[in-house]
Amino acid sequence: MTAPLEHLDLTGPLKQVRKSLPHDSAEKHVRGTAEYIDDMVEPVGTLHVVPGWAKDAVRGSVHAIDLEDVRSAPGVVEVLTAADIRGINDCSSAFGDDPVLAEKEILFNGQVVFAVVAETREAARKAALNAKIEITPSTPILTPDDAVDADTTVMPDYQFRRGSPETGMPASEAVLSGTMYIGGQEHFYLEGQVAMALPQEDGGMLVYSSTQHPTEIQHTVAKVLGVPDAAVTAEVRRMGGGFGGKESQANQWAALAALAAQKTGRACKLRLDRDDDMIMTGKRHDFKVEWKVGHDGSGKIRAVDIQFLARCGYSADLSLGVNDRTMFHADSSYFYPDALIRSRRLRTDTCSNTAFRGFGGPQGMLAAERMIDAIAIKTGRDPLEIRKLNFYDAEHNLTPYGMPVEEHEVMLDLVEKIEESSDYWNRREEVARFNSENAVLKKGLALTPVKFGISFTLKQLNQAGALVHLYTDGSVHLNHGGTEMGQGLNQKVAQVVAEEFGVTLDKVRITATNTSKVPNTAPTAASSGTDLNAMAARKAAREIKDRLIAYIGEQYQCGPEAIHFGDNKVLVGEQAFSLAEIAKQAFVARIQLSHAGYYATPGITWDRESVTGRPFFYFAFGGACAEVTIDTMTGEMSVDRVDILHDVGHSLNPAIDLGQIEGGFVQGMGWLTTEELVWDDKGRLRTHAPSTYKIPTASDVPEDFRVDLYEGEGNPQATVYRSKAVGEPPVMLANSVFCAINDAVASLNPGEVPSLDAPATPEAIMKAVQDMRRRKATQ
Amino acid sequence: MRETIRFLKGGEIVELDDVGPTDTVLDYLRLRRRETGTKEGCGEGDCGACTVALGRLVDGKPVYQPVNSCIQLLGMIDGAELVTVEDLTADDKLHPVQAAMVACHGSQCGFCTPGFIMTLFTLYHSEGQQKSRKTVNEWLAGNLCRCTGYRPIVEAALDACFDAADDAFSWRANETRERLQALADSRDVFIGDSERFFASPSTLDGLASLYAQHPDATLVAGATDVGLWITKQLRDLSRTIWLGRIEGLDRVENSPSGVLIGATATYQASEEAMTDLSADLGELWKRIGSKQVRASGTVGGNIANGSPIGDTPPALIALGTTLELQTIDGSRALPLEEFFIDYGKQDRKPGEFVTGLFVPRLSGNQTFRCYKITKRFDQDISSVMGAFRFTLENGVIREARIAYGGMAGIPKRAAGAEAALTGALVDDPSTWGEGMQALLTDFTPLSDMRASAEYRMETARALLAKALMEISGTAPEDIRVLAQREADNDRAA
């Protein structure tokens, strides 16, 4: 490992942004004083809520619920069922198909049927075991294949089409096709789902929720309680991880806590047990992908036909956006002259799959890399050559959905830089030599690109608000609609606001996200948290500053060019004031020192109905080169070296961005290697705890791990300080690991495309190895 | 008789007389003391967010071990110093490991951070560790972080943890020693009444008579398994007897003939002796659970409970281990494999408890290999675990002891393969075939979340082949991608 970033000096004349400042809560994290919802001092008499479910039920109609033994258990105060809901029994984001408490039908194993409210959490958990729920089971639909056979979907199919693959494919010199299964992923945020609801006067409710989307918590709670939105306030200071799992799926727990609080008039808290959390909440979508690609014989793609079959689970949740994003990224970084990209959103009797960092994009890109690898194997050329051959360029820069890839030169430059810094071609030879000398262990190498579209593809979400107050002692109160889940959003936004006022960070007070301060917000998702909220906060700060400048100009008879904010001072010509002095003067002069800033991303015009327009403000780019070794007797694998170069535009905080890149990569690597979700044939999730579901540990991180930020011209779009979003794109750097494993398997039988599925567990690797050996034996 | 537990926390002696049989340290901290720095991530000892440090005297010096407080019974901290993240700052100044974590940007969401801090605190106080990424990874195997990708945490550990300890705990080590010595007594602890109690006898006889009175009581050694009965199965264990204070039961004794592991000796305590028996055994020991699990968990407890989560029994069976049991009426010993009768069923009578196991040393003409196959290298339970001891004579296999985990409901010997390989030539792969073939009838493995039956069978065969290839030297090159042996000290002469 090398100490990264020491060579970077990005700040220039800037004082606060582009600096590697620690996370605003870093000291509190290490002291254990950063407060999460379960750490908050509970009001006297707080009750605890535990959701109850039918352990053996998968799909079926409920014909008897006996909760008598639950009610009579020690410590139980109340048992809630759907009949207790005064408003609407739904906690979905949009589609109305997520009951808070199931009524007549159970739709998946883990669906909540009732909720116990008790004096202690332990009493509630024990009482919940006493329920007797009888159902009339129906045959469950579990896998994408089952759902295709039964033709069940959560929403209509959708497709992108360019040109005519029907004619392009037969006109190709060579046509390849295949099927690939891509597994899902559990979020495994370290802090599980949690909410605490406090009844307020006049039927109001204050809800603390570990959520990426406080506005949706507010709306959901209001809807379920049957009260106006204005009666509900949602607040979150920080989450112990989100990763998409708390975008829509924090709703149910907040709604249940609020329902219990409404019913009992007491504060109520619900914190899910880890196993319940993993069983009840949705995950990254798993896919079956059917692909077909035609090329010109040398490897240049002529036509592509891909079908994505996604397991969405029992309800729609965010599957529309997730699967659209899969389609938006089915090109990875490659130009498809004729393309048909189809998507089916399959309904299964399993938990409702949801947002997960990358939001469908990783699966789309992985399928594209499989096609490239197949072409390389069949043409006998190096996969990197095929990748570059098919990159977008000046002539071919239109994606299948019609948006130009304006920064194709950045994409190529970045990949060429990592090709050089990773010493790709020499190592390719070393890998070949190793493989010729070793019968049991085989090495693989792969260099894969990342191109990720930045913006919510649901246009209305691309807006943000912020609330900034300047107090008369010169301190600044900062609030915005984004939520902190560890990504350092608050720190970045605070740096931007500090820069604006010319003050140090200690003058800027970061405060909890709260729907009564900044209303009608978008979720903190789609990597857009900083792009949106830092812009809104900057506008708020700038407005206050402009008012101060106008006041100073009048008071001291000088032009704006003579006024300078910096070093915790305001310079007016030769005179220096503290910001407090200026703020006091302005207050006396009756200048408003508070402003609500607002920002809406410009230039995005996507229209889903007509499949036209521009969905993304810009693309973020990256590249990774991975080397792995596999054991062809057992399927065990180690990642030996990974080189990463990633484009964050001009970084707002290089240390935080580096953390996102490394963390995203390792999380993506887990998805593609050790993290396997297993349902049994009855539809019960068998991997519902960290004892059976294995996210990476420290020893899984490559021994040789070299990560750097791409130094370019910055974001060509007018983002905040020309930075780029960084939350999700790095997940897809891990595609390099999967492709390297595939490369190692491919070495067993040159010219044959391995049938490796994701995740590449030892068993999946052995399956692909044995398949290669079988094919070799029959050749 | 003492009706309280006593421990040191934040420089103060704490004495509690209200300790329930299933109270956990984590609930005590968060709910009773309202010290919320220690977090619950999973409630089953797999994520490390709840890690606290327990200091106990070893050779008269306080030694700190990380433990998962979510599955540690409160009564088990009797006589120890309990250190939590709240205790680390001195005069409000960050501890060196805290400062390094900030400087290296080692936290993002921060929820796992207190657990990491506490594990690093124990590494900071651990003497004689080799400064390397490998050492750090080993220590951190039981702490999951979902945000950072670990690199900055490992860097913080390398920066902060390998110099001589210089913190408030090292400054007051003498005082701590005196206070811990003052807490150490040989009185039996009993809190509660005969219906519901936490007990901690201090002698084997005391245990035998208490257990004879309450044969339905739950014996607890490290609680790394029993803890989950409480937190996950919500079992109401009304009587728990902790074995951790029984004089001499935690011994690890090396002798020319083998190693005796007392029933309450932790994995950690027996690691060195196991590494000395075989490099592979040492590697296996390092991959049992995590640092936290190994600091509490015991081999004896793992066997006594017949935990399906047992990666040591196949290795111990292949090595010819005998198990020693005792009741108030006397003791007996039996080959370890005979203790496991069926899934969830062991040969343990009411009132009977495990006192120890004896692992024979390899003789000069014996060689041993074991392999643990998992989805994740560290802190994972094997899908297949294979262990092999061959007794060789002039290149002929005179005896084969082969045991597998994951291939049946219990750890089990491969009787057919053992017989078929007896007489085979270790250097001639053509003589291995019958043994390989016999595995197909020795076992009928099941499919579950860890692996399919097909993969298990294929891998079981591959591991036998691998062991023979390694021992014979017929493989021209290194044939392990993981768990490389650090030393080859058991190659048969």
CA distance A690 to chain B (A): 6
Residue A181 and residue A632 in contact, taking contact as beta carbons nearer than 8 Å? no
The residue that leads in pLDDT, A8 or A265, is: A265
Structure tokens at B362: 């390899």
B463 touches chain A (CB under 8 A): yes
- A728 tagged catalytic: yes
Helix axes B113-124, B96-103, angle to 10 degrees: 130
φ and ψ at residue A85, rounded to 5 degrees: -85, 120
With beta carbons under 8 A apart, name residues in chain A contacting B111. 36, 189-191, 240-241, 486
Structure confidence by residue, pLDDT tens digits, B224-244: 999 999 999 999 999 999 999
**Position A5 pLDDT exceeds 90:** no
Q: Do A698 and B154 touch (CB under 8 A)?
A: yes
pLDDT attached to residue A702: 96
Q: For domain A46-138+193-271, give the CATH number.
A: 3.90.1170.50
Where exactly does CATH 3.30.465.10 map onto chain B?
Answer: 252-360
Subunit contact A30:B46, Cβ cutoff 8 A: no
Nearest CA-CA partner of B290 in B26, B68, B58, B130: B68
**CATH 3.10.20.30 domain span(s) along chain B:** 13-183
Taking residues A355-373, what's their average pLDDT? 98
> Is B481 in Cβ contact with A638 (below 8 Å)?
yes
The distance of Cα A74 from the centroid of its chain, to the nearest Å, equals 41
CB B88 within 8 Å of CB B95: yes
Domain with CATH 3.30.43.10 in chain B: 189-242
Q: Please state the φ and ψ torsions of residue B23, each to the nearest 5 degrees.
A: -60, 140
Residue A488 amino acid letter: G
Confidence of residue B490 (pLDDT cuts 50, 70, 90): very low
Once rounded to an integer, what is the mean pLDDT over residues B357-381? 97
Q: Tell me which DSSP letter residue B204 carries.
A: H
Beta pairing, strands A301-313 & A338-347: parallel
Cα–Cα distances in angstroms (integers) from residue B242 to residues A99, B65, B193, B277, B294, in the given order: 46, 18, 16, 29, 17
Is pLDDT at A365 greater than 80 in this prediction? yes
User: What would the pLDDT profile of B264-311 be if each residue is shown by its tens digit?
Assistant: 999 999 999 999 999 999 999 999 999 999 999 999 999 998 877 679
Chain B residue closest to A29 (CA)? B110
pLDDT score of B482: 79
Q: Which of A159, A178, A148 is nearest to A343 (CA)?
A: A159
Nearest CA in chain A to B154: A698
Please name the residue of chain B whose CA is at the shortest distance from the CA of residue A273: B42
Structurally, what CATH architecture does the domain formed by B13-183 represent?
Roll (3.10)
Residue B358, pLDDT above cutoff 60: yes
Type of residue found at A659: G
ipTM of the complex: 0.97
First CA to last CA distance, chain B: 55
> Tens digit of pLDDT for each residue in A115-155?
999 999 999 999 999 999 999 999 999 999 999 999 999 99
Q: How far apart are CA A54 and CA A70, in angstroms?
A: 13
* B477:A636 CB<8 A: no
Mean pLDDT over each residue of chain A, to the nearest integer: 97
CATH code of the region B189-242: 3.30.43.10
Q: Does B1 touch chain A (CB under 8 A)?
A: no
Residue B487 confidence (pLDDT): 44
The answer to whether the Cβ–Cβ distance between A441 and B137 falls below 8 Å is no
Cα radius of gyration (chain B): 23
| pLDDT, tens digit (0-9, with 9 covering 90-100), for A231-288 | 999 999 999 999 999 999 999 999 999 999 999 999 999 999 999 999 999 999 999 9
Of B46, B110, B145, Cβ closest to residue A25: B110
Residue A261 identity (one-letter amino acid): A
Chain B contacts of A34, Cβ < 8 Å? Answer: 110
- Cβ contact A662–B449 (<8 Å): no
pLDDT tens digits for range A636-692: 999 999 999 999 999 999 999 999 999 999 999 999 999 999 999 999 999 999 999
Q: Measuring CA to CA, which residue among A284, A312, A281 is closest to residue A157?
A: A312
The answer regarding whether domain A286-457+608-777 maps to CATH 3.40.50.300 reads no
Whether cis (ω within 30° of 0) applies to the bond prior to B308 is: no
Measured between CA atoms, the residue of chain A closest to residue B452 is: A763
CB contact under 8 A, A241 and B111: yes
CB-based contact (8 Å) between B415 and chain A?
A: no
Tell me, what's the pLDDT at B344?
87
Q: How far apart, in whole angstroms, are the C-alpha atoms of residue A648 and residue B344?
A: 54
Tens of pLDDT, residue by residue over A63-118, are 999 999 999 999 999 999 999 999 999 999 999 999 999 999 999 999 999 999 99
What CATH topology corresponds to B252-360?
3.30.465
The 8 Å CB, 24+ separation contacts for B280-286 are: B280/B315, B280/B368, B280/B369, B280/B370, B280/B371, B280/B483, B280/B485, B280/B490, B281/B315, B281/B319, B281/B368, B281/B370, B282/B486, B283/B483, B283/B485, B283/B486, B284/B311, B284/B312, B284/B315, B284/B370, B284/B372, B285/B312, B286/B138
B contact test, residue of A238, A691, A701 with most B CBs within 10 A: A691
The residue of chain B with its CA nearest to that of A690 is B46
Q: Taking the domains of chain A in order of start, what are their residue ranges? A: 46-138+193-271, 286-457+608-777, 463-600
Q: What is the pLDDT of residue A575?
A: 95
Nearest to A24 by CA among A480, A491, A486: A491
In this predicted structure, the answer to whether residue A3 has a pLDDT above a threshold of 60 is no
> pLDDT of A733-744, one tens digit each?
999 999 999 999
Q: Is pLDDT at A774 greater than 50 in this prediction?
A: yes
- The closest CB to that of A633, out of B34, B40, B462, belongs to B462
Is residue A770 predicted with pLDDT exceeding 50?
Answer: yes
Q: Which of A78, A186, A191, A728 is catalytic?
A: A728
pLDDT reading at A182 higher than 60: yes
Smallest CA-to-CA distance from B65 within B271, B285, B292, B269 is with B292
Task: Specify the pLDDT at position B488.
Answer: 46
Look at residue B493 and tell me whether its pLDDT is greater than 50.
no
Give the pLDDT of residue A326. Answer: 98
Q: What is the pLDDT of residues A156-176, one digit of tens each?
A: 999 999 999 999 999 999 999
Chain A CB contacts of B234 under 8 Å are: 122, 125-126, 129
Which one of 3.30.470.20, 3.40.50.150, 3.20.10.10, 3.30.365.10 gives the CATH number of domain A463-600? 3.30.365.10
Averaged over A694-713, what is the pLDDT?
Answer: 97
Answer whether B482 touches A (CB < 8 Å): yes
Q: For B366-472, which CATH superfamily applies?
A: CO dehydrogenase flavoprotein, C-terminal domain (3.30.390.50)
Are B481 and A241 a contacting pair at CB < 8 A?
no
Can you give the pLDDT at residue B483?
Answer: 66
Tell me if A286-457+608-777 shares its fold with A463-600.
Answer: yes
Interface test with B, best of A116, A190, A765 (most B CBs within 10 A): A190
pLDDT in tens, B240-270: 999 999 999 999 999 999 999 999 999 999 9
pLDDT of residue B485 exceeding 80, the answer is: no
Residues of chain B with CATH 3.30.390.50: 366-472
Statement: residue B486 has pLDDT above 60: no
- With CA atoms as reference, the chain B residue closest to A659 would be B148
Tell the burial category of A274 from Cβ atoms under 10 Å away from its Cβ (0-12, 13-18, 19+).
buried
Residues 336-365 of B with CB under 8 A from A: none
pLDDT, position B492: 39
Q: Do A659 and B86 touch (CB under 8 A)?
A: no
Residue A132 Rama label (left phi>0; alpha psi -120 to 50; beta): beta
Between chains, do A1 and B133 touch, taking CB under 8 Å as contact? yes
Subunit contact B105:A20, Cβ cutoff 8 A:
yes
At B484, the pLDDT band (50, 70, 90 cuts) reads low
Q: Which chain A residues are within 8 Å of B466, Cβ to Cβ?
A: 633-634
